[in-house]
Structure 1
């Protein structure tokens, strides 16, 4: 059956999945159930979208053979258990970021996925939009040349009222701060365009809010291709900006500065000369619009399920993003450079809160 039935678990960001990801594709998805512990929220979302089935029981939905996809939009601290349970129930699984709270947990999920009937797709919706996808096509066409240097800025604002939600700002339930729940998007976009990092030096601090987790970070990366990239993050900016600026041999790319949709146009694509500009124009001459965020990610997931394309975001992609987080926390604690990849011998493999000696 081409229309896949979906149960949304958690009706906070889950509402955005419905509006942006499922409603634009009625020939591909049907949200048949919603689950939330807040019954008032269940009623509000159910009434808004005409979803009749509303429950507080996650297990009830796992047992329903009529549900194809479990879409997990719950607080991060329970992602691992819910993902593994949904895979064990034979479901396809979509999971909001962060996928989980340690590399050990990520590897447990990856192991569970290998023997599962269904497929896991982590959420990284910022990858999608005309700007970032044009850059991706141009780089993959070989026009950009050697990557020299880059900067990635996540300058957002979160006030005390944001942290009035009980699970936010705590290690046990949010799993981390700006690196885990905010900047993770932009850092994934960097890897999506420029490949992985090999060395990490970072500092983190809590300077903006009275919370357990970090809300400021400064990081230096050496990429696998030899380039240097700086990452800057804060939740104390007076105006919210998400920005990537990547300097290649033949082209400089700069994203728009829209905090929550940096993948959309306009991106600056600055060519070294007229010849490079002409080649860029030729590569994107047949461009077809790429809808933003969840719209395209869900569409491409459906294509994958129908055998029409690759899985748009993989568990390995999610692990790579979490590996960077692990390295930054380890570097900040130890004051030392950290080499990637990170395996079980890392002092933070099993958990980020363990102090590095």
Structure 2
């Protein structure tokens, strides 16, 4: 029997919502966007008109759309402080959920979302579109195959640039609403890739600062050392780098590889100094080149997986438990930076940083927010990183 189209509601009509809509529109045989919801319904209506969503209705209250009984799944494209509440309500109402990053503002909220999915029997997924990029998939394959030997040291540069006005939006740059600065709002992309490729560390030590954004309580620069039993990872997250030169580099026993793709290898001369090992470099280059490119990448690839998982045709690529790992690592980084101590993982439920309210109360205010706008008018489409998937 032919399955019915999956009826989708887009919750939140900000910039990322258009990315979700355009991805869903690539699969007209599988789904149909039936609702777009936003506190500013004119924004929802604009998205409907711009994308020719003839079957969609604009809603001010997403709960009304969910309660209509005509929705099978929702894409949550809201500010982070609303993710958990809406996800839990949607799951309990019988909807499958895919939620934009960061998954939630606290581990407590992540666990509430995971519990609601388990109790409802519905799917919960978290957007990690950069895992669905060809270079990242190829590098992970090389690591999984052990082709560079044991990884000894890795560096993660999640470097971005955002102007002062970025934090004028009412919810950004506040611990109680955004629950993060650069580390979770931007670094989340590379932190997720790193822990997907290497797993979770045993402990972290971190420092955070606000060096260039006076309308944000939160950090715009952070450096963390992630400690594994047999290696170290140095992570830098910034929104003050004009070149936005993003990369992840893995240094192994036999060679170093990186995204954006780069490979280098040295052999030891008799005195221990290096000489280029072109044979090893050429071998790894050929292996990389011979791996197939993904048929689809980014949001379209992950949302297709979400739709197929709903239909029971394939396993969910990233579920709530997997998405939670990245939030736990970011939380540990914040705890370390705030306490000046090395923080051991995993974090426990009685930790003040586990709870959203407790976390917001203890984090430092680098500045007090003094400008606020409800919406940006006339802005161009957002950028999603220069080098994260090259």
Is TM (by shorter chain) over 0.5?
A: yes
- Corresponding position of 2:213: 209
Deviation digits for residues 58-93 of structure 1 (CA, Å, limit 9, x no counterpart)? 111212333111111011111111010001001100
Contact 1:143 1:280 in 2 (8 A): no
CA–CA distance in structure 2, aligned partners of residues 237 and 280 of structure 1: 30
Distance in 2 (alpha carbons) for counterparts of 1:180 and 1:278: 37
Aligned-residue Cα RMSD (Å) equals: 2.0
Q: Deviations over 1:248-280 (max 9, x none)?
A: 223322112xxxxxxxxxx12446653675477
2:259 aligned partner:
255
Residue 49 of structure 1, CA deviation: 1.1
- In the alignment, the residues of structure 2 paired with residue 120 and residue 87 of structure 1 have an alpha-carbon distance, to the nearest angstrom, of 8
- Aligned equivalent of 2:348, options 343, 347, 353: 343
Distance change >3 Å, CA 326–CA 279, structure 1 → 2: closer
Give 4+ residue runs of structure 1 displaced > 6 Å after superposition: none
Q: Residue 153 of structure 2 aligns to a residue in which SS?
A: strand
Q: TM-score, normalised by structure 2?
A: 0.83
1:50 matched to 2:57 = no
Query: Where does the alignment leave 5 or more consecutive residues of structure 1 unmatched?
Result: 257-266
Report the more deviating stretch, 24-33 or 275-284.
Answer: 275-284
Give the Cα separation in 1 of the matches to 2:30 and 2:315: 17
Query: Is structure 2 residue 174 aligned with structure 1 residue 170?
Result: yes
The residue aligned with 2:336 is 331
8, 11, 18: which one pairs with 2:10?
Answer: 8
- Equivalence map 1:90-169=2 (5 Å): 90-169=94-173
Question: Which structure 2 residue ranges, 5 or more long, are not aligned?
Answer: 267-276, 364-390
Q: Judge which range, 307-316 or 149-158, deviates more.
A: 307-316
For residues 154 and 103 of structure 1, what CA distance do their matches in structure 2 show? 22
Q: Which moved more, 1:87-96 or 1:58-67?
A: 58-67
Determine helix, strand or coil for the equivalent of 1:239.
coil
- 1:318 is aligned to 323
Assess, with a 3 A threshold, how the Cα gap between structure 1 residues 111 and 17 changes in structure 2: closer, same or farther: same
Higher Cα radius of gyration: 2
TM-score of the superposition, structure 1-length normalised? 0.90
Q: CA deviation at 1:43?
A: 2.2
